[in-house]
Structure 1
């Protein structure tokens, strides 16, 4: 194998390694200022028709893992409706362009999934645009690091984490299922935090553990309807949420076995697989993409 191909395949060196430049952003964070820039698969992801003509709904698709999944789904042949916060309109434009460049329909919907009525309008919009929902990806999430411990977690923060990560997922799933035909699927984004919680992300980690339980329980509930429910558990991933919610990003991801964080593009294939017919016998499973973190 040529040396340059070996380097491109080496998981430890194929993407930037810490130490990263010091950088902080206001929540929700933006892709443009990040150094190094995140890789969503713009130059690397090649589709093969795995999701041809399927209709996907994706929460939190403006940046990070959500943008990478939207890009991959579109290049696999799916039309994609995705949500973003109202203040993330410029970020969402980047995702919309990637979907349309792949020749698929893109619908960007400003939506705060903390509100039940906004979730209802989201699903109604998806049905209006597509007629039905083949794939639902519950990816939107909120975190805020509190290194000073539980005493620093305000009720306002706790409520925002719970409503974004759990209430929104519950509402969108519940409202989407009546519009999902047999063969449809739900994919939830959990995290390595579900198994190995970091003390400074206590409330966020709680929700990620709950998402594992929700995934496994809902899968049993809807299997007879021909619908699969799975989740992806990423480890450290270089997204705008990191400089926007963590005080020190210089060594982010350095403790993984590969000595670096994942790029969003490295998470997208797991979502594609779970959404594809090739995963037709897989449900109630968690695909761990943690960079080698040992899990129970």
Structure 2
């Protein structure tokens, strides 16, 4: 088992004793740096035992260096998958995630670049297939968000960056991946609780997350006869680097308090949803969304 502190075999799980309220903190640039967070997110739960659910598979994860992406990478590796990680420029976070994957006895591939670039997405898929021997699971997870109190404050630059990162990148990667996917393979898209209830200060972000839901359901129907399943995960407030890189310090300190569980969720508490959807355990599930959100009841 991976030790949260040093990446060695051992076991320290902070999920149960994680503070209900996190300290005030901010980061200046998205998508944020995990090693600067206080406290560190929990990316794997104590006692999680892999059972070869993904043995021999290859996964490609966007936003795979930290947060939910890191947790998914480590869980996938513990289940027997090799993992390719797309990330923007957070090299230290990516290096740690690679070390964690390799500590599980699996191969890891770093793919720095911008998912807004269709050519890069094509190259990322091609390198994954060439260097890891194939592609079985695509996890679309990269995202940005920029709060604005008024729609009139969302300028064209922000609008384009949010849509190009959060939904165009999903299309680019799925389109590039499809020729390599076969019966039994999967695509998993990260959407959000904001898809279902909206967010007054994240109108553009919530709109992209709604688009991801539409993409997931539509692509699932298109690919069902090929035996390729497409599903989504809609996290609620999860303690990832994007949070201190998005909100002012006072909002960060209150993060997650509005949920019925009165705390932010941990990446480890989301990653198991991805394991389930990537594995044969969910063989009769496609076009659906799982909701690790701390108890908020949403439709769909």
Could you tell me which runs of 5 or more consecutive residues in structure 2 were left unpaired when the two chains were aligned.
1-12
Deviation at 1:43, TM superposition (A): 4.8
Q: 1:138 to 1:118 in 2, by over 3 A?
A: same
TM-score by length of structure 1 reads 0.93
Give the whole-Å Cα distance in 2 for the aligned partners of 1:73 and 1:91: 17
Contact 1:144 1:245 in 2 (8 A): yes
Q: Given the alignment of the two structures, is residue 75 of structure 1 paired with residue 78 of structure 2, yes or no?
A: yes
Counterpart in the other structure of 1:192:
193
Counterpart in the other structure of 1:121:
123
- Tell me the alpha carbon deviations over residues 195-230 of structure 1, each in whole angstroms, 9 at most, x when there is no partner: 111111110000011111100000000111110000
Q: 1:89 to 1:44 in 2, by over 3 A?
A: farther
Give the whole-Å Cα distance in 2 for the aligned partners of 1:291 and 1:46: 23
Q: Any residues of structure 2 matched to 1:29-48 within 5 Å, and which? A: 29-41=32-44, 43-48=46-51
Deviation at 1:294, TM superposition (A): 1.6
Contact 1:56 1:78 in 2 (8 A): yes
Counterpart in the other structure of 1:3:
none
Counterpart in the other structure of 1:241:
242
Could you tell me which runs of 5 or more consecutive residues in structure 1 were left unpaired when the two chains were aligned.
1-8
Q: Given the alignment of the two structures, is residue 218 of structure 1 paired with residue 219 of structure 2, yes or no?
A: yes
Counterpart in the other structure of 2:274:
271
Give the whole-Å Cα distance in 2 for the aligned partners of 1:94 and 1:115: 25
Deviation at 1:127, TM superposition (A): 1.4
Give the whole-Å Cα distance in 1 for the aligned partners of 2:227 and 2:24: 48
Contact 1:99 1:106 in 2 (8 A): yes
Counterpart in the other structure of 1:22:
24
Counterpart secondary structure, 1:122: helix
Q: Any residues of structure 2 matched to 1:127-276 within 5 Å, and which? A: 127-146=129-148, 148-247=149-248, 248-276=251-279
TM-score by length of structure 2 reads 0.91
Give the whole-Å Cα distance in 2 for the aligned partners of 1:250 and 1:199: 20
Counterpart in the other structure of 2:106:
104
More displaced stretch, 101-110 vs 22-31? 22-31
The CA RMSD over aligned residues, in Å, is 1.6
Aligned residues: 284
Counterpart in the other structure of 1:65:
68
Deviation at 1:33, TM superposition (A): 2.1
Counterpart in the other structure of 2:283:
280
Counterpart secondary structure, 1:128: helix
- Tell me the alpha carbon deviations over residues 15-73 of structure 1, each in whole angstroms, 9 at most, x when there is no partner: 3202x221110222111221221111175533121111111111110100000000000
Contact 1:132 1:181 in 2 (8 A): no
Contact 1:215 1:231 in 2 (8 A): yes
- Tell me the alpha carbon deviations over residues 3-25 of structure 1, each in whole angstroms, 9 at most, x when there is no partner: xxxxxx9x9x643202x221110
Counterpart in the other structure of 1:50:
53
Q: Given the alignment of the two structures, is residue 92 of structure 1 paired with residue 120 of structure 2, yes or no?
A: no
